[in-house]
Amino acid sequence: MSDLERITARRNELDVLADELAKRLQEVEVEREELGIAERILLRLAEQDRADTEAAGGGGPNESAGGGACGAADPTPR
C-alpha cells in the first residue's frame, strides 16, 4: 500500500469517526438540556412546596386536619 493510499484510508477512518462523534455529541447535548429542564422543574416544585408549607403556618407532615390529641381519630373517651 502506498503512502497516498494509507493517508486516504486514514482520512476516511477519521471522517467516519468525526461523524460518529458529532452524532454522539448532539445526543449528549440533548440529554443535558433535558436534565437541566428537569432540574429546574424540581427546584420550582420544591420552592412551591416550601412556600405552601410556610403559608399554612409551618406545619410539618405530621400535622393534618382532624388529627392530633383532640381530633376525630382519638379513640380515648372523654
Per the listing, cell 427546584 goes with: 43
pLDDT tens, per residue, the chain with 78 residues: 899 999 999 999 999 999 999 999 999 999 999 999 999 999 999 999 999 999 998 655 555 555 445 545 555 554
Grid coordinates standing for 74?
Answer: 382519638
72: Cβ contacts below 8 Å, ≥ 6 apart: 66
Query: What pLDDT is stored for residue 61 in this prediction?
Result: 57
Grid coordinates standing for 34?
Answer: 433535558
